[in-house]
Amino acid sequence: MGNGASLTHGTSFRQPGDHAVHHGVYNGKVWIARPVTVVEDRPEIIKLLIIPGSICKFTTGLKTRKYRDSGSGPLLDRWDEQLSMNWELYNHTWFGKRVLIINRPDDYYGVQLHWNHETDEFLGWYINFELPLLRSEAGFDTLDLEVDLIVHPDFSLEWKDLEEYEAGVKRGVITPEQIGQIELGKDEVLGHIHKRDGLFADQKLKFWKPPVKWSAPQLNTGWDKVN
């Protein structure tokens, strides 16, 4: 766990129930934007909630790769699209899963808890390896580094998007420093899973629900502002 510098960069703390934007940013340009509700915002931890019904901004390439339909066009490589700095964003309505995102200072991963929004069934944990979270005027900035780990409720494991991650490594888009930090993050997460400690020991968290009055937030003016 780091010293808190990343999470305290740039803006004051937000209050529970505040709306903000969770950005993916590459070279100063928004790659993805998701409206979130702040659950907790302190120097040592931050928790953000994604509620189905929120309208996000995704790249066209992400649409073809992960939300593909008959009208999506040709499959676009993430790294080609990212390096071109010429992507377009489209509206995508978040559906199905309610997601609680938890980040600690300087970690190269965030821990997510997923629920079926209609039934409140706990679906498991999702470890998203990413750049450390930074504060911005609109909310919080990071960048997904592709490799993910799904931890099912029975603690069985499933790695995700390894091929895209390895392609990014080969092309040099993911730097040696980032690779090293991801490997450290993997060891740390797997250790917590094996020991059933940390967030994986918090049984109450699996049954956490947001206040009923919290509706799905939407992107407001200034949603595209980054550091």
- pLDDT tens for the chain, 227 residues: list them: 333 344 545 558 999 999 999 999 999 999 999 999 999 999 999 999 999 999 999 998 777 776 655 455 666 789 999 999 999 899 999 999 999 999 999 999 999 999 999 999 999 999 999 999 998 889 999 999 999 999 999 999 999 999 999 999 999 999 999 999 999 999 999 999 999 999 999 999 999 999 999 999 999 889 998 87
Can you read off the two tokens belonging to residue 17? 């129930």
How many DSSP H helices and E strands does the chain contain? 4, 12
Query: What pLDDT, on a 0 to 100 scale, did the predictor assign at position 76?
Result: 75
**Structural domain for 198, as ranges:** 19-207
Query: Considering the domain boundaries, does residue 1 fall inside one?
Result: no
- Residue 46 maps to a domain: yes
Distances (CA, A) of 55 to 52, 72, 92: 9, 18, 6
Read off the tokens for 94: 């978040």
Question: What's the confidence (pLDDT) of residue 227?
Answer: 73
Task: Report the chain's terminal Cα–Cα distance, integer Å.
Answer: 23
- The rounded Cα 158 to chain-centroid distance in angstroms is 17
In-domain check, residue 60:
yes
Residue 6 belongs to some domain of the structure = no
Find the CATH number of the domain harbouring 40: 2.40.380.10
At residue 226, the pLDDT reads: 85
Q: What is the pLDDT of residue 77?
A: 86
CB 79 within 8 A of CB 173: yes
The SS3 of residue 66 is helix
Q: Which residue in 106, 186, 178, 180 sits closest to 151, CA to CA?
A: 186
CA-angle at 153, arms to 152 and 155, nearest 5°: 65
**pLDDT value of position 11:** 58
Radius of gyration of the chain from its Cα atoms, rounded to whole angstroms: 17
Q: What pLDDT was estimated at residue 179?
A: 98
Instruction: Name the β-bridge partners of 40.
Output: 47
Q: Is residue 25 part of a domain?
A: yes
91 in a structural domain: yes
Backbone angles phi, psi at 148, to 5 degrees: -135, 160
Residue 206 token pair: 């699996």
Contact 142, 131 (CB under 8 A): yes
85 found inside a domain: yes
With respect to residue 109, please indicate whether it lies within any of the assigned structural domains.
yes
Number of domains composing the chain: 1
At 68 the pLDDT is 59
